[in-house]
Structure 1
Amino acid sequence: MPTLASQFSILSTSGFLFLSSITSTHAQESKEVTPEIKVSPVETKDKPQQVDIKAKSEVDNAKRDTAAKTVITNEVLMRFGDTNINDAMKRVPGVLVVKDQLQLPGMNAGYTQILIDGEPPRGIAITDLPMNIIDRVEIYRGGNAQFSSQAMAGTINIVLKRVPSNTQAQIKANIANSYKTTSGLEWLASDKHKNLSYSLSLNIRDSGGTLSGPTFIANDFLDDTNQTTQKYVQIMRRDANAYSLRINPRVNYNSEAGTTLTSTSSLILNRVGFMSKSEYDFQLGSPLPIGKILRDYRSDSNFGNTSLRVLSSTGDLKLDIIAGVNLSTSASTSKDRTFDPRDKSFFDRNVYTHRKTSAYNNTGKITAPSSEAHDIVGGWTASKSLDDTHRKETQWNYLPVSTTEDFQATRAVIDKVAFFIQDEWRFRKQSSAYFGLRWESIKIVSNGTLQEKLQHQSTILSPIVQGLWQLNPDNTDRLRLGLSRSFQAPAEILLVSPIYKSLNNSILSTNFRGNPALRSELAWSLDAAYEHNGNNEWNYTIRSKFRRISDLHRESISFYADAWWRTFINAGDAISKSLEFDTQFPLKCFIEGAPNIDISFDLNKNWSKVYYLPAPDNILSPNTVNAKLSMDFRAKNLPLTLGYNLRYSDSHWQQTSASERSFSTTPLELDLYFLWKLNQKTLLRASVDNLLKRQSLSLSEQRFSDLRTSSNSFSPVYRKLSLNLEHKF
């Protein structure tokens, strides 16, 4: 049987031959390439539209900036016709999407900071952002004083488009099918009147299909002699519906005095519901109390925010100030009917949860006058949020007949304050250094009906130093070096939250409670990179990173009060090392007369160790090798662009706690796409994701005293076919 590596090579070669054969009937390349279908991440010599010139300048600026970052333009993000940022980013070199979460290699998703216009999402999921309002994505693998230091793996900053200065309207319709059909409709309009301009984006989506589908879990319990004492299979089926409406207005005003005011708002309405059935097939040993669970779940959530940004100057000082408020509410009801293994009614449980979060935030940046060799910037961030959660649980027991009620209320007040200062110093014509210092404080005060008043505060002083050495006057080759300190404050839910009690409590289905004593994780990071951007359009980068982490967060499972409980603790120190390589180039760069194919490839390898956990599975990430290969082909005499993206990640057992380890297969994935320009204003995009349809399995093992468990779960695999129609008026 061929290995995954050999399959990767075979598919890459066959894909190249397939794309090459398409162009064999064409004798010469067309002199014009329509800008709308120029989807390669590699810059070409064709004359782009004005929007492409602006995007290209951001890419060029990133090459000159001392603070290292990678810029992914909207053109690259949209080449597959994806309808959300996660699907688009899974094809970006050096970025992983695991369980629908963005992350940078070497550490799990929670260690990658995700920002929108430099600020936390504040109650909005990044998948809620319509793709037509995203201008670019900036990837910072090192520190940056302007952003929060909660970025141990790095920062992904999603930059939204500024208000256009011209009149335009665009509509996009999408339909996709995997387990179920999903659909969406987007509309974007903008206009300008004298000094006032605006844009309005509307997005309606039905995404229930992404939440539906069955799951199968086989569980085995073994004693200290490795004999199976209990065995059962859990089958979960769910049929979901999910609808959302998103409205994003932006208004921009430029005064005669040079002050710019920008108002940005969002309104998001979500409704989710599903009916599910969980059945247990007890094959060996004592059955659990519950043999079947029928659940009816409904949730409504609303989110709104508005912010005002002021760009101005006073004397020699340049000011950039943002103030905003947001409010979110959610109400969910879960109705469970449970049955014993003989299919007799056991008990019914209703859980109603209401959560309300209100917050305000203020950020400011001041650019001070300095010499030509220095760019000095300072600023602040301040935010306050109030979170009120009410949870009411009512249970009706059939045998014996009784009723119990449980009410929990918690309130958390979160205050965040930060100050920063940075200086980019060009001490030589082709060399520069970046010095940044950020002080950050996060304070949580919480109280509730089932807890004493809690006050938790994390503060950190983060120095950041980066250097850039341009190795030639054209800046085609550069060396970068960076040192930074970062941290990971415990999420509020890990500190204090309403206690969650599982229906079938066991070591595999634990209750959960917070740990008020949980401290922040701290890390020192050292980065180095060599970058090449050739005049022949061949680009490549080699990066390395070393991290040392203290007070690592890890799960802990214990048995007390006749139940199994899960919480988080500080678990000592860890180290992480990584090496990355990525390259992009047109095939004609190396083969004269080659078809119009652009190639992108990246490979990264990471090593890690968690000292307090037993070897050899004491690693920070189960994926130690990740690779991607993309090829984009532009037809010579047709308004056609097509390509594919191939992704591979290895899999390893990972010790997630002192008593538990897990393993998830990451099969080879292949996505195809094509884009056809029907006319000057209309585009048709289509894509097929997961063409190979490889099965993914998740395994886990737990050890507690003389008890060992083994679980194997999987869901049926589906290909995803998407069609997108775009029209500009």
Structure 2
Amino acid sequence: MPRTPAPYRPFGSRANLRPTRPQALEVQIHACPGRALAPLILTVLAPHALCQAPAEPVQQVEVRGNANSSSAQRRADVAGQQVVTRQELLQHGDTRLADALRRVPGVSVDHRGQGTEVKLGGLGNGYTRLLINGEPAPPGFTLDSLPLDSLERVEILRGASVQTAQAIAGTVNLVTRSSSKLATRDFKLSAATQWGQPQAQASVNLGNAWGLATWGLGLVASSERQRWPAEVVQQRREDAAEGSGSATVTQRYATHKREDDRTDALAANPRWSWKQGDGDGGQWQASLDHSLRYARSHGGSRDQREPLVGPPPDMAADDMRLNFVRRFWRGRQQLQHQTADGTLWQVRLSFNQVRRDQDSHVDGWNAEGTPVKFSDVDGRATDQTLQLTLVHQRPLGEDHRLDLGLEREQARRRESRVQTELALPGGLPAENLDERYDAHATRHAVYLQDDWALSPRTQAVGGVRLEQLSTHSSGNVFETVRQTHQLVGPVLRLSTTPAGDVGVFKLGLSRGFKLPQPRDVMPRRYVNVETTPLTPANMGNPDLKPERAWSLDGSWQRGLPGLGGPGGQGGEVVVSGALRRIQDVILDRLQVRPDDAVIPWVLERYNAGRAWAASLELELRGQARAGLAGWLPGATGPLRWQTSLGVNRSRLRDVVAEHPALPNQPRWVAKGELSQDFGPQWQTHAGLEARGPALADLPSGRRQAFDAQQALNADVSWLPAPRQRLRLAATTLAASDEVERKRVALVEDGRRVTYDSREAWQRQTLWRLSWESGF
């Protein structure tokens, strides 16, 4: 009998070509006695402690699952794509996407001050690529640009693919909500506080069918006040004589730092789709999807420097006031036609615009309280991208499916910056600037991929992506920079399920690349308020080349009946690993300019040779039938749990040092989560996230390290009626500070001088109360 053609799936979803059917599962779960708190904590990192021999006759519970579950999709996908559903994203009451992603196994999120970065395998700095509906997120995009409530799911893929070769570590694809034929009327209200600062958010989701069309509309209004206090200690040590081995601290001072921000934002996500048969067994479908966000921010930072040893710094105190207006607009139009034999044609047109208007003012004083700095900066940055994509998908017999894609993208970044400073008596040197930048990028790409069912138990994917990128950067303070890059990205993946219920094995080989960002290429300076060897200015390098990497990814996934039920619906283990060989890795090198009185220290990007990176991850999930019924009154149903542990390593081959490694890569990341019901109306969750230290010796005698850290999360929900929920959540309970240590070794006047700093960002519990209801 001919195989039913698989429907078209968005990026990253290479499902098994052979159809699957829903199935009923009979699960046996063993209960464990225990009343102390210590075993409960241990279950977060050692869930197998729950699986003791039962003291009473085992009850049989029927659990119904289907092949559309996240675990089943991950098993069926040749690349092992991990899917985080909307329910999983919202089940803890988070309103920020960064907080929801932080809970996902295998994903790390760094959030220091106002900066946020998502990493796979501990690799950030552009190695992990963010996508929106399968297309690269535009320059200037931040996680706050898309409200969490506007997402349908998140798709996570390790390694590169023919659709997105610009992803050495992998991709995190943010899929927005689509229209639904079911009437939707949901309302959510949330209030929170952290460091005594109030936060509030309200959202409404509407949708319904209208003839052959469906429509949806999401609206989010938010007002958040945030605070990030920090303590920084810096010191300078000087050798008594060259080669003596003894050093004297000549200067040490502590900085009491605080950043504040208040952001008021409005966001909308209108969407529409239409579907109709063509009379020959085929189907036409059109859709529109837009996201808009307007945000106004007021904030800044205050630094007070206290001398401990030696003379005070040139600027003993400073006060920066920042005002931002951000506008984000993403639009996508799509038309596709699928014939009766499964052949699909698709055209997508996407447009993104991110605009940021900023004005800032900085006042600085020396130790005597005399003004030494008075600076005003007005800036504007606009990023625009227009992308046209053509996709053709065609079955080739029973066991093949061919994908062909063509892409053309036009991107432009315009930036202006006017800096006005006063030359104060006895103050720091004044610098007045009027800078304008204009960067254009044109990208052409074609990819070809063949999905092949080698046998009922083995599937393979092979393909190649060819890409050409041309950039043209100009400005009034540097010469025009032109670059052209041709890149080839082959991909080969294999998935097999041996007989004997031993699980699914996957192996992938791919070649990806990472292009320099426009700001990395343009020779523009980005200056900190306090310029020191530890906090130097940053400057682009027009000679940067793309990074290229070969990646070998593998995984094993198997259901474990002993942890929850047969077939892997209740219990499951996933082991995944990756090995990457990176060429022309982009790092920073410190340039010392003693003749420059304004900016004597500058970090410049450059290609630093080769690097190796490896990661190994273990995920376990399951449930215990009796749950906490023997420990806590009112506990009913199973105790559901999941844990994960990831180990990361990297090495820079061409940097001579004790610990040459990629910066800010934690040695290990562990996560755990417990869920327990208390009757039909109460639900509870508790989670733990911990990560190990990170240590990297970098070029130019620099060292960067991060201390280990951990945090607890908990929430409780009350469901008084169907489609109604009241939730109290606590995030970053008992959280450790985020501590960064830096060291720079230089030679000044023939003597070795070492600069050290310890920067500790303090964290406090975020309390959130939310109400959800249909209407």
Tell me by how many angstroms 1:403 deviates. 7.6
Q: Distance in 1 between matches of 2:94 and 2:58?
A: 32
Q: Is the CA contact 2:324–2:357 (under 8 Å) kept in the aligned structure 1? A: yes
Tell me by how many angstroms 1:194 deviates. 0.5
Q: Distance in 1 between matches of 2:370 and 2:394?
A: 74
Q: Is the CA contact 1:67–1:144 (under 8 Å) kept in the aligned structure 2? A: no
1:341 aligns to 2:378 (yes or no): no
Identify if the C-alpha distance between structure 1 residues 207 and 590 changes in structure 2 by more than 3 Å, giving closer, same or farther. Answer: closer
Structure 2 counterpart of 1:559, which letter? Answer: V
1:103 aligns to 2:124 (yes or no): no
Q: Is the CA contact 1:376–1:421 (under 8 Å) kept in the aligned structure 2? A: yes
Tell me by how many angstroms 1:443 deviates. 2.1
- State the aligned residue count: 693
1:11 aligns to 2:41 (yes or no): yes
Matches within 5 A, 1:29-68: 45=63, 56=68, 59-68=71-80
**Paired residue for 2:759, among 713, 718, 722?**
713
Matches within 5 A, 1:543-562: 543-560=576-593, 561-562=595-596
Deviates more, 1:89-98 or 1:430-439: 89-98
Tell me by how many angstroms 1:13 deviates. 4.8
Tell me by how many angstroms 1:364 deviates. 2.0
Q: Distance in 2 between matches of 1:539 and 1:13?
A: 16
Q: Distance in 1 between matches of 2:220 and 2:303?
A: 34
Tell me by how many angstroms 1:555 deviates. 0.8
Residue of structure 2 equivalent to 1:688: 730
Structure 2 counterpart of 1:471, which letter? Answer: P
Tell me by how many angstroms 1:660 deviates. 1.3
Residue of structure 2 equivalent to 1:150: 166
Identify if the C-alpha distance between structure 1 residues 160 and 502 changes in structure 2 by more than 3 Å, giving closer, same or farther. Answer: closer
Secondary structure, in 3 states, of the residue corresponding to 2:525? coil
Residue of structure 2 equivalent to 1:660: 702
**Paired residue for 1:126, among 143, 157, 177?**
143
Matches within 5 A, 1:86-97: 86-97=98-109
Residue of structure 2 equivalent to 1:611: 653
Q: Deviations over 1:465-493 (max 9, x none)?
A: 011111238x7711111111011111111
Q: Is the CA contact 1:528–1:543 (under 8 Å) kept in the aligned structure 2? A: yes
Q: Can you give the 5+ residue segments of structure 1 that lack an aligned partner in the other structure?
A: 1-6, 21-26, 32-43, 48-52
Q: Is the CA contact 2:628–2:676 (under 8 Å) kept in the aligned structure 1? A: no
Structure 1 counterpart of 2:149, which letter? Answer: N
Tell me by how many angstroms 1:615 deviates. 4.1
Secondary structure, in 3 states, of the residue corresponding to 2:481? strand
Structure 1 counterpart of 2:456, which letter? Answer: K
Q: Distance in 1 between matches of 2:609 and 2:42?
A: 43
Residue of structure 2 equivalent to 1:191: 208
Deviates more, 1:371-380 or 1:673-682: 673-682
**Paired residue for 2:567, among 527, 532, 535?**
535
Identify if the C-alpha distance between structure 1 residues 529 and 128 changes in structure 2 by more than 3 Å, giving closer, same or farther. Answer: same
Matches within 5 A, 1:462-477: 462-472=489-499, 477=503
Structure 2 counterpart of 1:464, which letter? Answer: V
Q: Deviations over 1:567-623 (max 9, x none)?
A: 111111111222221111112399999951111111122232111223432122541
Q: Distance in 2 between matches of 1:14 and 1:191?
A: 41
Tell me by how many angstroms 1:248 deviates. 0.9
Secondary structure, in 3 states, of the residue corresponding to 1:493? helix
Q: Is the CA contact 1:458–1:489 (under 8 Å) kept in the aligned structure 2? A: no
Q: Distance in 2 between matches of 1:589 and 1:413?
A: 61
Residue of structure 2 equivalent to 1:575: 612
Q: TM-score, normalised by structure 1?
A: 0.89
Identity %: 21
Q: Distance in 1 between matches of 2:288 and 2:237?
A: 61
Identify if the C-alpha distance between structure 1 residues 400 and 91 changes in structure 2 by more than 3 Å, giving closer, same or farther. Answer: closer
Residue of structure 2 equivalent to 1:323: 349
**Paired residue for 2:641, among 575, 585, 599?**
599
Residue of structure 2 equivalent to 1:626: 669
Residue of structure 1 equivalent to 2:421: 395
Structure 2 counterpart of 1:133, which letter? Answer: S
Matches within 5 A, 1:71-82: 71-82=83-94
Identify if the C-alpha distance between structure 1 residues 465 and 15 changes in structure 2 by more than 3 Å, giving closer, same or farther. Answer: closer
Structure 2 counterpart of 1:71, which letter? Answer: V
1:490 aligns to 2:533 (yes or no): no
Identify if the C-alpha distance between structure 1 residues 109 and 97 changes in structure 2 by more than 3 Å, giving closer, same or farther. Answer: farther
**Paired residue for 1:456, among 471, 480, 483?**
483
Secondary structure, in 3 states, of the residue corresponding to 1:623? coil
Q: Distance in 1 between matches of 2:656 and 2:40?
A: 38
Identify if the C-alpha distance between structure 1 residues 675 and 442 changes in structure 2 by more than 3 Å, giving closer, same or farther. Answer: farther
Tell me by how many angstroms 1:109 deviates. 4.9
Q: Distance in 2 between matches of 1:84 and 1:684?
A: 18
Q: Distance in 2 between matches of 1:266 and 1:278?
A: 37
Identify if the C-alpha distance between structure 1 residues 315 and 14 changes in structure 2 by more than 3 Å, giving closer, same or farther. Answer: closer
Structure 1 counterpart of 2:744, which letter? Answer: Q
Identify if the C-alpha distance between structure 1 residues 303 and 528 changes in structure 2 by more than 3 Å, giving closer, same or farther. Answer: closer
Q: Is the CA contact 1:116–1:157 (under 8 Å) kept in the aligned structure 2? A: yes
Q: Is the CA contact 2:626–2:638 (under 8 Å) kept in the aligned structure 1? A: no
Q: Deviations over 1:24-56 (max 9, x none)?
A: xxx99999xxxxxxxxxxxx8258xxxxx7x93
Tell me by how many angstroms 1:132 deviates. 2.9
Q: Distance in 2 between matches of 1:655 and 1:15?
A: 31
Secondary structure, in 3 states, of the residue corresponding to 1:75? helix
Q: Distance in 2 between matches of 1:595 and 1:608?
A: 43
Residue of structure 1 equivalent to 2:288: 263
Q: Is the CA contact 1:412–1:445 (under 8 Å) kept in the aligned structure 2? A: yes
Structure 2 counterpart of 1:60, which letter? Answer: A
Tell me by how many angstroms 1:539 deviates. 0.9
Q: Deviations over 1:518-550 (max 9, x none)?
A: 111111111222110342622111122111111
Secondary structure, in 3 states, of the residue corresponding to 1:108? coil
Deviates more, 1:590-599 or 1:440-449: 590-599
Secondary structure, in 3 states, of the residue corresponding to 1:535? helix
Residue of structure 2 equivalent to 1:242: 263
Secondary structure, in 3 states, of the residue corresponding to 2:162? coil
Q: Distance in 2 between matches of 1:708 and 1:279?
A: 23
Q: Is the CA contact 1:476–1:535 (under 8 Å) kept in the aligned structure 2? A: no
Identify if the C-alpha distance between structure 1 residues 151 and 8 changes in structure 2 by more than 3 Å, giving closer, same or farther. Answer: farther
Q: Distance in 2 between matches of 1:722 and 1:596?
A: 26
Residue of structure 1 equivalent to 2:378: 352
Identify if the C-alpha distance between structure 1 residues 530 and 275 changes in structure 2 by more than 3 Å, giving closer, same or farther. Answer: closer
Residue of structure 2 equivalent to 1:35: none
Q: Distance in 2 between matches of 1:505 and 1:667?
A: 28
**Paired residue for 2:235, among 207, 215, 220?**
220
Q: Deviations over 1:151-201 (max 9, x none)?
A: 111111122222011212111111121122211111110121101211111
Q: Is the CA contact 2:122–2:665 (under 8 Å) kept in the aligned structure 1? A: no
Tell me by how many angstroms 1:437 deviates. 0.6
Identify if the C-alpha distance between structure 1 residues 183 and 613 changes in structure 2 by more than 3 Å, giving closer, same or farther. Answer: same
1:159 aligns to 2:175 (yes or no): yes
Secondary structure, in 3 states, of the residue corresponding to 1:398? coil
Tell me by how many angstroms 1:290 deviates. 2.0
Identify if the C-alpha distance between structure 1 residues 403 and 423 changes in structure 2 by more than 3 Å, giving closer, same or farther. Answer: closer
Residue of structure 1 equivalent to 2:275: 254
Q: Distance in 1 between matches of 2:175 and 2:708?
A: 30
Secondary structure, in 3 states, of the residue corresponding to 1:82? coil
Secondary structure, in 3 states, of the residue corresponding to 2:459? strand
Q: Is the CA contact 1:98–1:109 (under 8 Å) kept in the aligned structure 2? A: no
Structure 1 counterpart of 2:156, which letter? Answer: I
Secondary structure, in 3 states, of the residue corresponding to 2:709? coil
